Amino acid sequence: MSGRKIFAAGNWKMNKTIAEAEVFAEKFRSIPVRDDVRVGFMVPFPQIPAMIRAFAGTPVEIGAQNVHQELSGAYTGEVSLPMLKELGVNCCIIGHSERRAYFNETDDTVNQKLRLLLKESDITPILCVGEKLDEREEGKARTIVSDQIEHDFEDIPKDLAVRTVVAYEPVWAIGTGKTATAEQAEEMCAYIRTQIGALYDKATADAVTIQYGGSVKSGNAAEILGQENIDGVLVGGASLDPEEFAKIINR
């Protein structure tokens, strides 16, 4: 046993209206879930206040799916850290592969966002890394992931780095129904931990929470969460259904 607490986070992506989020919250709150698991929902910006209200007085954390790297300015359509702090979010995804693929997110901007979240707030960053299918097939998966980790953690001291949740999400397993095998997921999460150890030290590597994400559902959650170096899951599609997500938590 690693002693690290399991963290099950839902990533709703661009799904659910506020009314639908409220229905979800009411249903989810009626389902008993184990209390030794950290639970969070990363929801679209407009749903954040309603979800924070719906889960007030519970340990469930509500977070965002992105933040801009500047504190304010002429960035039409973006949301800043002071705005997220004012809302009272607990977590924020950064560097999701969909943001990297469709919105020009680079390791430079991810690094700026990680530094900002860690230095200017108590918000838990959920930093997504992962290789694409062709990169895995070409035997480059480890190189891609280690380059991301190295770049994303640049100029971040270890006392701050330790607060980061790293989510290993192989791009080929996201939304495809194609889960990495538990062995593939464990192998890369162990590698990420070793790399954090090399960047910082073993105590930091041992303390960091590492999630796996990519087609996680109730049927594969137990095997994935049973791996030594996997401390949680980042769940897209299956987090939209309160019963299915509760089954993942209760696996």
Positions marked catalytic: 96, 169
Output the residue with the shortest Cβ distance to ligand PGA: 236
Q: How far is the CB of 172 from ligand PGA (least distance, A)?
A: 10
Burial of 54 (0-12, 13-18, 19+ CB in 10 A): buried
Cβ distance to ligand PGA smaller for residue 174 or 205: 174
Pull the structure tokens for residue 182: 């538990």
Cβ distance to ligand PGA smaller for residue 37 or 167: 167
Cβ distance to ligand PGA smaller for residue 148 or 205: 148
The CA–CA distances, whole Å, from 141 to 46, 172, 178, 192 equal 35, 11, 16, 11
Q: Could you say which residues in the range 126-165 bind ligand PGA, by CB under 6 A?
A: none
Q: Is 234 in the site for ligand PGA (CB under 6 A)?
A: yes
Q: Is 219 in the site for ligand PGA (CB under 6 A)?
A: no
User: Binders of ligand PGA: how many residues, by CB under 6 A?
Assistant: 13
Q: Could you say which residues in the range 164-183 bind ligand PGA, by CB under 6 A?
A: 169, 174-175
52-57-63-67 Cα dihedral, nearest 10 degrees: 70
Cβ distance to ligand PGA smaller for residue 60 or 167: 167
171-172-177-179 Cα dihedral, nearest 10 degrees: -90
Binding mask 177-216 for ligand PGA (x = CB under 6 A): ------------------------------------xxxx
Cβ distance to ligand PGA smaller for residue 63 or 214: 214
The single residue among 25, 37, 161, 235 that binds ligand PGA, judged by CB under 6 A, is 235
Q: Which segment (24-32, 99-107, 157-165, 229-237) binds ligand PGA by CB under 6 A?
A: 229-237
Binding mask 4-23 for ligand PGA (x = CB under 6 A): -------x------------
Say if residues 6 and 231 touch (Cβ distance below 8 Å): yes
Pull the structure tokens for residue 251: 């696996």
Binding site for ligand PGA (CB under 6 A): 11, 169, 174-175, 213-216, 234-238
